[in-house]
Amino acid sequence: MSRLSSGPQVAKPAGPHRGPERMLSLWCPDWAVVAWGVPSDQPSVVLAANRVVAANQAARRDGVAIGLRRREAQARCPEVRLLDRDPAREARAFEPVVRALDAVTPRIELHRPGRASFPAGPPARHLGGDEELVTRVLQLTTEAMSDGSKLFEGAVRVGVAEGAFAARTAARRAVDGPLIVRPGTTPAFLAELPVAQLRRDDARREELVDLLERLGLRTLGAFAALDPADVAGRFGAAGLDAWRLAWGDDDVPTDAVEPPVDLRVMRELDPPAERVDAAAFVVRALAEEFHGALTARGLACESVVVIAETEHGERIERCWRHEGVLSATGVAQRLRWQLEGWLSGRGAGGSPAHRVPLAERLQGGVVRLELVPDRVVAATGRQLGFWGGRDSASERARRALARVEGLLGADAVLMLEPAGGRAPGEGVALVPYDTRLDGGAAAGVPARSSTPSPWPGRLPAPAPAVVHDPPLPTRVIDGEGRLVGVSGRGQLSAPPQAAEVGGVRLEITAWAGPWPIDERWWDATEGRRRARIQAVTADGVARLYTVEAGHWGVEATYD
């Protein structure tokens, strides 16, 4: 059942204004799970860098949340199914859905696998209204997936409103069914929402939202009530763009320019490419050429049209959009996603039951790829310091890693990022290399602050050389062979005399501790109590031992 939303009236800025286009936004928040073909009633999560980046509704009911470590997710839901992040699979699975929506409109704009939008006005008028359009969209997306009654049930959220930002916001809030904002009431719909909605839509607005909240502007309505001249003078062009979104305007940036008609790059493929890996080098080179052509003109691209032609004369195109400007890696990633959908011929789950019908696949190999800018803005550039800037060696390393990423996929190249935490394994996190180039966080993983936190109870330097995840089971015993315990006051039951690691008894020659840690004691589900000791055994190796719930383990080893 569709919901119609309205709210308090909000005055629009004075002066002539052409209202934003009415948009429909389709979003599947659990798409990374859906793409594996997992039934909706089976608790399942998708992991990247050992953290949960997606969880279906069945897993969330058991307390599994985005950002949890694998071990915490399994503790909350022992029967949860663990799946690896697979962007190629997600792209392949989403292509049948997009092709099904072609029956409604040709103007589909893709944001990433699992999220798309298109102008709702023409198809709604053709079908008889917004509710009829939403019903048709849900029907097509479900039919595009085999066994959709079980696999796709409740997975899609649909929102309709004036402007792409408002439509995306409506889709996020469409938890209990499609949300349709009545024509002319979009400013009122947005007015009561928290200003943090701007940050959820685009992580680059983090500092702006933080400043608005400190100034007492906690709702979009309060922000929209400001004078636009004051907003531009205080917050600049980025703040003015956010202000326009707050009162329901379209999300076309103020610095948007008309795409140059002659700016389009093309590559011929000989022999024709019938697999994605066969076109990998062309994908990366084409993206670099496209990005270089834009940069040479002082421009940056927010959305790009990918066009492919086959050896039998077929021509197909898709428009991909990014919340922010696209780097060369971002363009290559979206081009690779699209080729995965076009060349794979499979849908969600990857099994024969989910194959794309033969009539909907590309007939023959791809012989021509073309990139055309769709939305272009003035490039703000990047100001490097006099010292510590990127040198030629760093640039060559970046290009080499980008090529590897282009060949093997978005999550094939990982890099370390500082993170908070008290355990040795929580000091850093592995994130995909391409997300760092785009200036964002890994998908589904909360962005980490670059400001170091004190983290009381954190292990002091020097850090151990090897971290065991999970800890190696062991027994720390006293002189009488009894298991050493730690009291609630942080006192040992007896001095440790030996440790049994892997069935081998090692005498302890020196030790220090214990250091108790009581984390999130107020939370019955996430609270943890543990204690650590550092000990050197007769073999000359120093280890970090941890006891939790009466069980000892070797958490780390020093070199």
Instruction: Determine the average pLDDT of the residues in 434-458.
Output: 52
Contact 238, 201 (CB under 8 A): no
Range with top average pLDDT, 96-100, 436-440, 460-464: 96-100
> Is 126:337 a contact under the CB 8 Å cutoff?
no
pLDDT of residue 453: 61
545 close to 533: Cβ distance less than 8 angstroms: yes
Mean residue pLDDT of the chain comes to: 80
**136-144 long-range CB contacts below 8 Å, 24 or more apart?**
136/104, 137/24, 137/26, 137/101, 137/104, 138/178, 140/97, 140/100, 140/101, 140/103, 140/104, 141/26, 141/97, 141/100, 141/101, 143/100, 144/96, 144/97, 144/99, 144/100, 144/347
Torsion of CA 246, 250, 253, 258, to 10 degrees: -170
The pLDDT of 85-96, averaged and rounded, is 86
User: 3-class DSSP state for residue 317?
Assistant: strand
Residues 6+ apart with CB under 8 A from 444: 32, 46, 48, 52, 53, 54, 66, 67
* Percent of the chain residues topping a pLDDT of 70: 81
pLDDT number for residue 438: 46
pLDDT digits (tens, 9 = 90+) for 2-44: 555 544 444 444 444 456 889 999 999 889 998 888 887 889 9
Question: Tokens in use for 331?
Answer: 């363009």
Q: Which domains, ranges and CATH numbers included, belong to the chain? A: 1-36+87-183 (3.30.70.270), 42-85 (3.40.1170.60), 193-253 (1.10.150.20), 265-378 (3.30.1490.100), 466-557 (no CATH)
What are the contacts of 53-61 at 24+ separation with CB within 8 A?
Answer: 53/85, 53/442, 53/443, 53/444, 53/445, 54/29, 54/30, 54/85, 54/444, 55/30, 56/30, 56/155, 57/30, 57/154
Q: pLDDT tens across 33-83, in order? A: 988 888 878 899 999 878 898 998 889 888 898 888 888 889 889 999 999
- In the chain, what's the furthest Cα-to-Cα distance? 88
**And the tokens for 173?**
């809030």
* Residue 6, pLDDT score: 47
Which pairing describes strands 179-181 and 3-5: parallel, antiparallel, or unpaired? parallel
Contacts of 168 (CB under 8 A, 6+ apart): 25, 27, 117, 159, 201
* Residue closest to 48 by CA, chosen among 89, 83, 77: 83
Whether 527 has a pLDDT exceeding 80, the answer reads no
Q: What ranges in 274-327 are assigned the alpha helix state H?
A: 280-296
pLDDT at 406: 62
Chain segment 386-444, per-residue pLDDT in tens: 444 455 566 677 667 766 766 666 567 777 777 777 778 777 777 766 544 444 444 44
pLDDT at 393: 64
Q: What is the mean pLDDT of residues 353-375?
A: 67
Q: Quickly count: other Cβ atoms within 10 Å of residue 549's Cβ.
A: 7
The DSSP secondary structure of 448-485, one letter per residue, reads PPSSPP--TTPPPSSPPSEEEEEEEEEEEE-TTSPBP-
Instruction: Fill in the amino acid letter for 247.
Output: W
Residue 5 pLDDT: 53
Here the tokens at position 469 are: 């995840």
Do you find a cis peptide bond into 470, omega within 30 degrees of 0? yes
Cβ atoms of 17 and 429 within 8 Å: the answer is no
In tens, the pLDDT along 471-525 reads 899 999 998 889 999 988 888 999 999 999 878 899 999 999 898 988 877 777 7
User: What CA–CA distance (Å, rounded) separates 62 from 60?
Assistant: 5
Q: How many CA atoms does the CB half-sphere of 519 hold within 13 Å?
A: 15
Asked if residue 119 has pLDDT above 60, the reply is yes
Nearest partner of 164 among 240, 234, 244, judged by Cα: 244
> What are the φ/ψ torsions at residue 371 (nearest 5 degrees)?
-120, 130
Dihedral sign computed on CA atoms, order 60, 63, 64, 66: positive
86 secondary structure, DSSP code:
-
**Amino acid 81: pLDDT:** 93
Residue, of 232 and 256, whose pLDDT is higher? 232
- Burial pattern 468-481, b for ≥16 Cβ within 10 A else e, equals beebbebbbbbeee
Whether the pLDDT of residue 160 is over 50: the answer is: yes
Q: Closest Cα partner for 92 from 278, 258, 339? A: 339
Select the more confidently predicted residue: 539 or 439.
Answer: 539
pLDDT of residue 182: 92
User: Which residues are bridge partners to 346 per DSSP?
Assistant: 355
Residue 141's CB is within 10 A of a number of other CB atoms, namely 22
Position 447 confidence tier, pLDDT thresholds 50, 70, 90: very low
Tens digits of per-residue pLDDT, 248-278?
A: 887 666 556 778 778 888 888 888 888 777 7
Backbone angles phi, psi at 17, to 5 degrees: -155, 135
Q: Alpha-carbon distance 322 to 337, whole Å?
A: 13
Cα 100 to Cα 120: distance, rounded to the nearest angstrom = 16
Q: Which amino acid is at 131?
A: E
DSSP-derived secondary structure letter, 441: P
Tell me which of 214-228, 283-297, 392-406 is least confident: 392-406
